[in-house]
Amino acid sequence: MKGVHFLISTLAILASATFLVSASDPSPLQDFCVALNDNKSAGGYFGANAVFVNGKFCKDPKLVNANDFFFSGLQNPRNTQNPLGSNVTTVNVDQIAGLNTLGISLTRIDFAPNGLNPPHTHPRASEFLVVLEGTLYVGFVTSNGDGNRLFTKVLNKGDVFVFPIGLIHFQLNVGHVNAVAFAGLSSQNPGVITIANAVFGSKPPINPDVLAKAFQVDGNVVDYLQKQFWYDNN
């Protein structure tokens, strides 16, 4: 009998866990939930009781207008005169409040010749990249369990490449002229973790002994890397 009770309890826990996982990213239950950063500006019938969805308060639908779904400026090239030779223009829920709960966002990436969008991950989104101008060498690395395999491709104008969620990926301009790409992401706020910046530029710094052992290098190498300025192109 104890075994039966244990089995029932275990199944109940698993069922609850499955429900919680499914409920963590629900589909919208309304046409839109235009984001607000605080409930004081929610207005209308919401006021202090404004609904909080995906980290944002919902604007009173009666006060929503077309500008809540609008962004202008992606036609303009960004300055790529920096150590990486690239610049990322992000359009997520912070730029378009109407993206809240919709699960999508967009970026424009400008590259100087030999410009690099360095190895990074998006913890909450898959990405598809479309090349508008130029030639890019792109790739991603699979997880440890899949042997850290590298998938790469040279892309030209009009080509598309997909980066699976959470995997380290990069883009390098291998042409002799400027390059431009647009990327769509499957999250309103995909996040970005640039590997070098996170590992060697964290605040406060990671203990050098940890990094020296992890990378199997002399501590002086880690000390040198931690003293560098790690540029953020976002």
The reply, when asked if residue 117 is annotated as ligand binding, is yes
**Cα dihedral across residues 147, 121, 181, 163: positive or negative:** positive
Phi first, then psi: give them for residue 154, nearest 5 degrees.
Answer: -95, 125
The candidate with the shortest Cα–Cα distance to 102, out of 149, 20, 33, is 33
The amino acid present at 142, given as its one-letter code, is: T
Q: How far apart are CA 171 and CA 194, in angstroms?
A: 13
5 assigned binding-site residue: no
The response to whether 120 counts as a known ligand-binding position is yes
- Integer-rounded Cα Rg, in Å, for the chain is 22
As a whole number of angstroms, the distance between CA 163 and CA 133 comes to 19
> Residues 90, 179: contact at Cβ < 8 Å?
no
Q: Measure the CA–CA gap between 90 and 187, rounded to whole angstroms.
A: 12
What does DSSP assign to residue 191?
A: -
Q: Do residues 184 and 198 lie in contact, with contact meaning Cβ atoms separated by under 8 Å?
A: no
48 phi/psi in degrees, rounded to 5: -65, -15
- Contact assessment for residue 96 and residue 70, using Cβ atoms and an 8 Å cutoff: yes
Is 133 annotated in some ligand binding site? no
Binding residues: 117, 120, 122, 127, 169
Binding residues for Mn(2+): 120, 122, 127, 169
Binding residues for oxalate: 117, 122, 127
